[in-house]
Amino acid sequence: MEAEEGSRMRLSQKTLRADFVRKVEELTGQSISLCYQCGRCTSGCPFAHVMDYPPNAIIRMIQLGDSRVLDAQSVWFCSTCFVCSVRCPKGVKVAETMDAVRIIVARKEQSMLTPDNLSSENLEGLPPIALVSTFRKYTG
């Protein structure tokens, strides 16, 4: 009976990972499995040096269905400059993928911002993309 419960648990975790990957692919309109980890996106990223996970690692985490990507600060440092997407030999939309993760986080209401609690102190050090993502959860 324990073995049966363990296989159910693995199945449900596998399903959750597949659902997460499917959601990212739905939001970006691409197959995330196209990335073969060449690293060109990371080598061209102007903010990779301040990210906790470089762009290619974010993509790999998504491919594996690793939910830690939802806690990664990297997606908030991405300025959506599209250098990564232009450099990708497989045409993976890395910048749009970062945006998709931000949208998923915002829709789960895991962000700490709401329009009601924005003060001038909050706005001074806030990355603009965080504001955009915060308001997206109220419009999508």
Rounded average pLDDT over 33-44: 96
120 or 105: which leads in pLDDT:
105
Asked if 6 contacts 13 with a C-beta cutoff of 8 angstroms, the reply is no
pLDDT tens, 43-81?
999 999 999 999 999 999 999 999 899 999 999 999 889
Q: What global pTM score does this model have? A: 0.70
User: What is the structure's pLDDT at 1?
Assistant: 46
Asked if 106 contacts 138 with a C-beta cutoff of 8 angstroms, the reply is no
Rounded average pLDDT over 15-23: 84
36 or 128: which leads in pLDDT:
36
Domain 2-136 CATH assignment equals 1.10.287: no
Rounded average pLDDT over 20-40: 94
Assess whether pLDDT exceeds 80 at residue 124.
no
Assess whether pLDDT exceeds 70 at residue 92.
yes
Domain ranges across the chain: 2-136
